[in-house]
Structure 1
Amino acid sequence: MPLMGAAPSPERVSSATLQNAFAAAAAEYRVPQSVLLAVSYLQSRWDGHAGAPSVTGGYGPMHLTDARTALATAPHHSEGTEDPRGDDARPALRPQPDLSNAADVPARLSTLVKAAELTGLSPERLRTDPAANITGGAALLAFAQRDLGVPLSADPADWYGAVARFSGADDSATAAAYAHDVYDVIRTGGERTTDAGQRVALAAQPRLAPRTAQLRQTGLRAPAAAGTECPSTVSCEWIPAPYQQFGDDDYGNHDLGDRPKSQSIKYIVIHDTEGGWEGVINLVQDPTYVSWQYSLRSTDGHVAQHVKAKDVAWHAGNWYVNAKSIGLEHEGFLAYPDSWYTEAMYRSSARLVTYLAAKYGVPLDRQHILGHNNVPGPTTATVPGMHTDPGPYWDWAHYFELLGRPVKATGRKNSGLVTIRPDYAANQPVFTGCVAPGEPCAAHGSSDVRLYSDHDEKSPLIKDVGLGTTPGTGVNDISSRVSTGQQYAVADRWGDWTAIWYLGQKAWFRNPPAQPTAVPAKGVVVTPKDGLDSVPVYGRAYPEASAYPAGVPVQAVSPLPYRLPKGQQYVVGDKVPGEYYYAVSFATDAHKVVVGKDEYYEIQFGHRVAFVRAADVRVSAS
C-alpha cells in the first residue's frame, strides 16, 4: 500500500534535508539509496522522534539501538492490583516474577555502538542528529554486505542478505520476513512528511526481484516453527507456556479449552509488555504466573507463540474476555519515555491479527480489536486496578490501515454518531508522568483525545466514578480520554466542540472543521427502555442463575458502579449470550461452558467497553 502521510512538528533537521542526508550517506558507503530509504521506513517511517528512544532503546530514522537498560524493567503484569486471570471463582494469583535470569543485552539492541565504531561518529551525535543516524545505518548495511562477501553493488536486488542481517534477527525466517517487507516498500514506493516536517520520497520499483538466495549466506539458524498457528507472512516460533500443577490445589498459567468448537473467539487484545523481550519470554515460561497467546518483538517483528488459540490464556484481567479472546503482547513500554513502536512490529502484528480475525470471525473494529486499556473491570472492586497499555502512543489509525480497515467517515455531516479520528502526528495532548510523576512527557503524536465537562479547556475533566480519583493528565489516567476508532453517540455541538455520551455524562472535546478529531459515523445504539430511569452496566456477560448445571457454582451477575441513564445513547459493538467458562481445576474433566438465555449488548461506554442486558434496553439505528 502507499506510504502513509504525517503532519509536521516544529522540529527541523538542521544539517541537511532528510532526503539529501539519505543521498549523501548512500553515496559515501555505496549503498543503493532505495535500500537505505526502505530500511529506514521499516524501522521508523523516516521519523526522528526528536532524538527520543523507541521502546527498545532505538534512536533516529535508522532505529540504531542502545538499550542497555531496557531489560531491567518489570513487565506490566507484575504492576498494580489486576489479577490477570480475572475470575473471582478462583483466588487471585499475583506472584512477583523473577527476572534475575534475563539475558545480557543482545546484539540487536546495541547497533548504535557498532555504528559509532564504523563511522567514528560519537554515540550522542548518532542519537540526536538524523543525518548522522542515517550515516550510521548506511555503514551498518555496508558492513553486513562486505561480511557476507558480496560486492557493494549499485543494484538494490543484490542487498537482500545485508538487509536480512540488518534486522538483527537471530533466525532465518525472521530475517527473511524483515527483508521481504523492506523490498515490498521499495516496490511500492511513496512519500511522506515526517515528524520533523521533512518531505521524503522513494521512487517505486515494482519489478524489483531481490536475490533471496543470499539468505543462505547469512548463517542464521532455522526457527522452531513447528506447532505454531501463524500466517506464512510472519516469522513465528513456538515457545510454550507451561501447563503445570504445583502445590496441592493450584496450577498455572492458562487453561486448556476447545475453542472455537466449545465457545467462540470474539476479541483480540493488544498489550505492550512494559519489559524487554528476554525478560518477557522468561516470564511466560513461569508456570506460576500469567500467559498470553503471542509475543511480538519490536526490532524485527518476530513472533513467538506460547498458548494455542483453542486454550484460554490469563492476560486481560477479565475472565469473560480471557475466555473469548486471543492476547498479543508487543515488546515495548507505554511511556519510556517517548514510547514509539517500530514499523516492523506494527506490520507483523497486523498480518497476524488479520490472519486470526479471518480464521475465527473476529470483526476488525475497535470493539473487537481491543487494547488492554479497553477491557472492563469484571467487578466494581477491580475497576481501579485494570491496566492501561498499550497507552496513548499506540498508533491505532496506522494499525487499522495495515489491517486493511482504515478509520474513516461512514456517516453524513452532523450525523448522530462519531468515530474518533485525530491526525496522529498533529494531535499532541499534554501527558505527564512518563519519566517522573507530574512531569510533562515529551511532545508526541497520540491516538487519544481529552474530554471536558464543558466546551472549554479550562473546565474540569470528565470523572470516572469507578476509579474514585480526581481526573488528570497522567499518561495512565484514562478517565477522560477517547481513542482513535472508538465510536460514540453525539450529545451536543457548540462551535468547534462536540459532546458525546460517555460514562453516563455529557463529555466535550474540541473538533474544529479545519482539523477534526472525529468523523461522522453510522451504527446501532442502545438506550434504556421506556419507563426506566437508568439501567445497570456490567463488566462481563455472565448467564442467569438458572443456566448453571449441578456442580458449577453460580457466578454473580454483578453490575459495575455505573448506570446508563434514560435519554443517553451508546454505540453497540455486538450482541452476545450470557456465557461462563468454568475452569478452576487442573484436570479438565470438570471444565464446562455455561450458556444462558439472557443476552447482552457490548457497548462503548467510556474508554473501556461494557455490557448491558438486552432486556433492559431499546435498540435503534442512528
Structure 2
Amino acid sequence: MRYLSGTAALVVLALMIPTAPGAAGVRRDGSGGRQEAFAQAARDYGVPESVLLAVSYLESRWDRNGGLPSVSGGYGPMHLVDAGLVGTRPAAPGERREGAAAGSGDRHGHHHGGHHGDGEDPRGDETRPLARPAAVPAPAAAPPEDTLRLASRLTGISPERLRDDPSANIRGGAALLADYRRRTGGEPGGAPADWYGAVARYSGSDDAGAAAAFADEVYATIRTGAARTTDDGEPVALPPDPSAVPPAPLTADLSGRLGLRRTAATPGPDCPPSVSCSWLPAPYKRLGKKGRYGNHDRYPGSRKIDYIVIHDGEGGYRSMVNAVRNPRYLSWHFTLRSGDGRIAQHLRAQDVGWHAGNWDVNSRSIGLEHEGYLAKGGAWYTEAMYRASAKLVRHLAGKYRVPLDRAHIVGHDNVPGTTRATVRGMHTDPGPYWDWERYFQLLGRPLSRAVRKGGRSVLILPRYAANRQRFTGCGGSGACPPQGASTVWLRTRPSADAPLVKDVGRHPKGRSTLSVYDHAARASAGQRYALAERRGDWTAIWYLGQRAWFHDPRGARTSARASGPLVTPRPGLSSVRLYGRAYPEPSAYPAGVKRQKLAPLQYAFRAGQRYSVGMSLRGSYLSAVTFDTAKHRVVVGDTVYHQIQFGHRFMFVRASDVVVVRS
C-alpha cells in the first residue's frame, strides 16, 4: 500500500467519514470544529498532533458522550478523570438503581456488589440452586490521579468547562501529555515515537503492563490512521503514519521510568500477548458441612466451548475482582477494566463459571464481565476496553474453535431462561448500548460479511451512531439521553404508533415497554431472523411466535438481507415446543445421575413460521452437585437440537420436530 503524507492523507480520510444526520456545520464549541481544536492544542503545547488524536481515539473515539462521565469518572474526548467520581455511580435525580416494580420492564439483575437480580439463579441448575450471594464490600482503593483538576491547573481553564466544552477538554489533554513528557525528561515537540512514555502515563494505569498495552494500541492507531464522525456530528481524521514505531528501550522498563508497579509473572493467563492480563483465581472451596461449595465447578474431561458470553458488571473493576474471589459469591472467567483495558482471569477455560443463569449455557461457555453499567451510556464502554475485549475473544475463539458470529458470541441478554418460572427474571446486560457492529469489526469479522442479496433471512444491522432509538429508565424524567444504539424496536403493525410486540414470558400480564432494561420487543445488531414480510419502509420478521415490524426505510436501512438455514414445523405438527436448554432424553441418564426434566417454555412455534438456525448439537448435561469432582458426570444423549433465534434470546427445538429450509 502506498501511504499519503500530511495534508493529502487527511483530505482522503476526511472524505471517507460518514456524515451523521444534521452534522453539517455543527460546531458546539463555536470554533472551527474538533479537528481544528486538536490541531490548535497540539501546536500550543508542543504535542505531536497524531499523538493527541490517537490518545483521544483510544479514550473516547473523539466523542463528547453528552457531557456524561465514563465508568472511570472521565469526561470528554480526552477522558479527563474526576477522581471524586471513581468508585461511585453518578445518577441523575430520581434514577432507579435496581429497576422499577415488578412487571414494569425496568428490572435489571445487578449481580455484582451484592445486587443479584430477582428470578435468576446464576448457576441456573435447579438440582443445586445457588442461594442469594452475600454482599461483598470492595476494598479501599488508592484514588486515581485527578487529571481533570490537574489539567485545570495546567491550563487555567475551570474544571466545569473542561467537563462540558470539548475544545477545552482537548486543550486539557494536550497540557497533560506535555506535563507527562516533562516528567520523563523530555522536551516539547519531537517525533511521535518519542512520546511513548507520556502516552503510557496518560493511560492512568497503576500497572506497567497495562500502561504499555495502552500505549502500544495508541501507536498502532497512529500507524493505521482513523476517521469517523463523532457522536455530536464532528468529522475527525487521523492520517496514517507507518513510521510511528517507538524504539525498544522505551517499552522495556516503564515501571522504573514512570513509577508504576510491575505485576509479578503468573502461571499462564489464557490471554493473547498483546493485552495486559493477570491471573487472579476464583476459589473452589467447601462451604460448611452440608455439601455446599463455591464458587464454580470443575469439568471432568475436555470441555467443549460453544459460547462466549458478554456481560457488563454493573459495577467497578475493583469491586468485581474482589467479589469473584469470594467463595460464597458467583464466578466468571475474565474481568475487563474500562480505563486501560486491563484484564484479570479468574477461571481456566476448563472450569464452569456461574454467570449466565442457565446451567446448560454455563457448562458450555466462557464468561467475560466488563466494567460498566447498562443504562449509563454505551459510548462509555471505552474504546480501550472494546479493543482489549475483542483481542481476548478473538484469541479464545481461535483456541477453542468458537465461531465468530452472533449465535456463539452472545450477550447475557441473549441467554434463555431455563424454565417458565425463570424466563421473566433473566438478566438484560450488556443492553442496547453495547456496540455489536463495532465489536465485530474489532474481532475481524464484520457483521456485514453475512449479507447476501436475495436471502430469505434478515440481519439486523442499524448504524449505531445514527440509530438513536428512544429509551426510558435512565433516570430523571425517565427518558435516556439521545445516543446511538445497537437495537431496533419491534411493533405489531408497520407503524410507529403501533404497540410493541408482546413477550408472554417477560410480561405474562402486562405490555412490553420502552425501558432500557426491557428486551422483550427488541432485535439486536448481528442477529438473524426469518423474513416474514415487507411493506414500504417497514420490515417484518418472525419473532416470539408473531410477525414483528421494525422501521427499515430505504436509504437508511436498519437491516440487510442474509442467508442461512431456517426451520419450520414438520408437516403434521401445528406447533413445536421450545426449550431453554438442550438436555438429553431421559433414557440417556445412567444409574446414580438424576434425570433432568425436559421442561418446555411458555412460547409456541406454530406451523407456517420460520426461525433461523445458529447451531445444531446433541443434548448433554453436566451433573455436578458435589465438591468431589470425581463424582461429576457428563451425560450425552441422542436427541439433536437446533438453536434458533426465536426472540431477543435464542432457544432450542428438537430437530425431529422441524424441517430445515435453506435460505
TM-score (norm 2): 0.90
Q: 1:7 to 1:287 in 2, by over 3 A?
A: farther
Alpha-carbon distance, 1:291 to partner = 0.7
Distance (whole Å) between structure 1 residues aligned to residue 264 and residue 611 of structure 2: 46
What does 1:48-447 align with in structure 2 at a 5 Å threshold?
48-66=64-82, 68-72=84-88, 75-77=110-112, 78-81=115-118, 82-99=120-137, 101-104=138-141, 106-107=143-144, 110-215=146-251, 216=253, 217-227=257-267, 228-248=269-289, 249-258=291-300, 261-336=301-376, 340-408=380-448, 410-436=450-476, 439-447=478-486
SS state at 1:385 partner: coil
Paired position in structure 2 for 1:8:
20
Would the aligned equivalents of 1:164 and 1:176 in 2 still touch at CA under 8 Å? yes
Pair 1:589-2:630 in alignment: yes
Paired position in structure 2 for 1:515:
556
Distance (whole Å) between structure 2 residues aligned to residue 383 and residue 92 of structure 1: 17
Paired position in structure 2 for 1:19:
35
Would the aligned equivalents of 2:57 and 2:383 in 1 still touch at CA under 8 Å? yes
Alpha-carbon distance, 1:312 to partner = 0.4
Alpha-carbon distance, 1:56 to partner = 2.6
Q: 1:411 to 1:348 in 2, by over 3 A?
A: closer
Would the aligned equivalents of 2:420 and 2:600 in 1 still touch at CA under 8 Å? yes
Distance (whole Å) between structure 1 residues aligned to residue 631 and residue 35 of structure 2: 64
SS state at 1:455 partner: coil
SS state at 1:186 partner: helix
Distance (whole Å) between structure 2 residues aligned to residue 302 and residue 443 of structure 1: 29
Name which of structure 1's ranges 301-310 and 74-83 shifts more when overlaid on structure 2.
74-83
Distance (whole Å) between structure 2 residues aligned to residue 574 and residue 419 of structure 1: 16
Alpha-carbon distance, 1:242 to partner = 1.0
SS state at 2:275 partner: coil
> What are the ranges of 5 or more consecutive residues in structure 1 without an aligned counterpart?
none
Would the aligned equivalents of 1:336 and 1:435 in 2 still touch at CA under 8 Å? no
SS state at 1:562 partner: coil
Paired position in structure 2 for 1:598:
639
Counterpart of 1:27, as a letter, is R
Name which of structure 1's ranges 293-302 and 189-198 shifts more when overlaid on structure 2.
189-198
Name which of structure 1's ranges 214-223 and 264-273 shifts more when overlaid on structure 2.
214-223
Paired position in structure 1 for 2:100:
none
Q: State the Cα deviation string for residues 135-160 of structure 1 (Å, max 9, x = none).
A: 11111111111111122232111100
Aligned residues: 617
Q: State the Cα deviation string for residues 397-447 of structure 1 (Å, max 9, x = none).
A: 0000000110116455453101000010010110001125x6100000000
Match for residue 560 of structure 1 among 589, 601, 606: 601
Counterpart of 1:257, as a letter, is Y
Alpha-carbon distance, 1:234 to partner = 0.7
Q: 1:466 to 1:192 in 2, by over 3 A?
A: same
Distance (whole Å) between structure 2 residues aligned to residue 70 and residue 432 of structure 1: 25
Distance (whole Å) between structure 2 residues aligned to residue 505 and residue 323 of structure 1: 31
Paired position in structure 2 for 1:617:
658
Distance (whole Å) between structure 2 residues aligned to residue 394 and residue 69 of structure 1: 22
Counterpart of 2:475, as a letter, is V
Percent identical residues: 55
Distance (whole Å) between structure 2 residues aligned to residue 587 and residue 93 of structure 1: 20
Counterpart of 2:283, as a letter, is P
Q: 1:375 to 1:67 in 2, by over 3 A?
A: farther
Paired position in structure 2 for 1:548:
589
Counterpart of 1:42, as a letter, is L
Alpha-carbon distance, 1:514 to partner = 0.5
What does 1:499-510 align with in structure 2 at a 5 Å threshold?
499-510=540-551
Alpha-carbon distance, 1:202 to partner = 1.3
Would the aligned equivalents of 1:392 and 1:448 in 2 still touch at CA under 8 Å? yes
Would the aligned equivalents of 1:6 and 1:194 in 2 still touch at CA under 8 Å? no
Q: 1:224 to 1:604 in 2, by over 3 A?
A: farther
Paired position in structure 1 for 2:57:
41
Would the aligned equivalents of 1:70 and 1:275 in 2 still touch at CA under 8 Å? no
SS state at 2:514 partner: coil
Q: 1:411 to 1:152 in 2, by over 3 A?
A: closer
SS state at 1:126 partner: helix
Counterpart of 1:453, as a letter, is T
SS state at 1:34 partner: helix
Counterpart of 1:57, as a letter, is G
Alpha-carbon distance, 1:103 to partner = 2.2
Would the aligned equivalents of 2:305 and 2:402 in 1 still touch at CA under 8 Å? yes
Q: State the Cα deviation string for residues 293-321 of structure 1 (Å, max 9, x = none).
A: 00000000010000111100100000000
Name which of structure 1's ranges 353-362 and 13-22 shifts more when overlaid on structure 2.
13-22
Distance (whole Å) between structure 1 residues aligned to residue 347 and residue 141 of structure 2: 26
Alpha-carbon distance, 1:68 to partner = 3.2
SS state at 1:353 partner: helix
Distance (whole Å) between structure 2 residues aligned to residue 104 and residue 378 of structure 1: 38
Alpha-carbon distance, 1:53 to partner = 1.9
Would the aligned equivalents of 1:270 and 1:372 in 2 still touch at CA under 8 Å? yes
Would the aligned equivalents of 2:528 and 2:645 in 1 still touch at CA under 8 Å? yes
Counterpart of 1:454, as a letter, is R
What does 1:526-537 align with in structure 2 at a 5 Å threshold?
526-537=567-578
Distance (whole Å) between structure 2 residues aligned to residue 115 and residue 85 of structure 1: 46
CA RMSD of aligned residues (A): 1.8
Pair 1:479-2:479 in alignment: no
SS state at 2:636 partner: strand
Counterpart of 2:242, as a letter, is P
Paired position in structure 2 for 1:450:
489
TM-score (norm 1): 0.96
Would the aligned equivalents of 1:225 and 1:236 in 2 still touch at CA under 8 Å? no
Name which of structure 1's ranges 72-81 and 530-539 shifts more when overlaid on structure 2.
72-81
Alpha-carbon distance, 1:173 to partner = 1.3
SS state at 2:151 partner: helix
Alpha-carbon distance, 1:338 to partner = 6.1
Distance (whole Å) between structure 2 residues aligned to residue 510 and residue 316 of structure 1: 31
Distance (whole Å) between structure 2 residues aligned to residue 411 and residue 156 of structure 1: 40
Name which of structure 1's ranges 168-177 and 475-484 shifts more when overlaid on structure 2.
168-177
> What are the ranges of 5 or more consecutive residues in structure 2 without an aligned counterpart?
2-12, 90-96, 98-109
Would the aligned equivalents of 1:270 and 1:329 in 2 still touch at CA under 8 Å? yes
Name which of structure 1's ranges 160-169 and 335-344 shifts more when overlaid on structure 2.
335-344
Distance (whole Å) between structure 1 residues aligned to residue 373 and residue 420 of structure 2: 27
Alpha-carbon distance, 1:70 to partner = 4.6
Distance (whole Å) between structure 1 residues aligned to residue 62 and residue 591 of structure 2: 61
Alpha-carbon distance, 1:67 to partner = 5.4
SS state at 2:421 partner: helix
Distance (whole Å) between structure 1 residues aligned to residue 378 and residue 513 of structure 2: 19
Name which of structure 1's ranges 45-54 and 517-526 shifts more when overlaid on structure 2.
45-54
SS state at 2:380 partner: coil
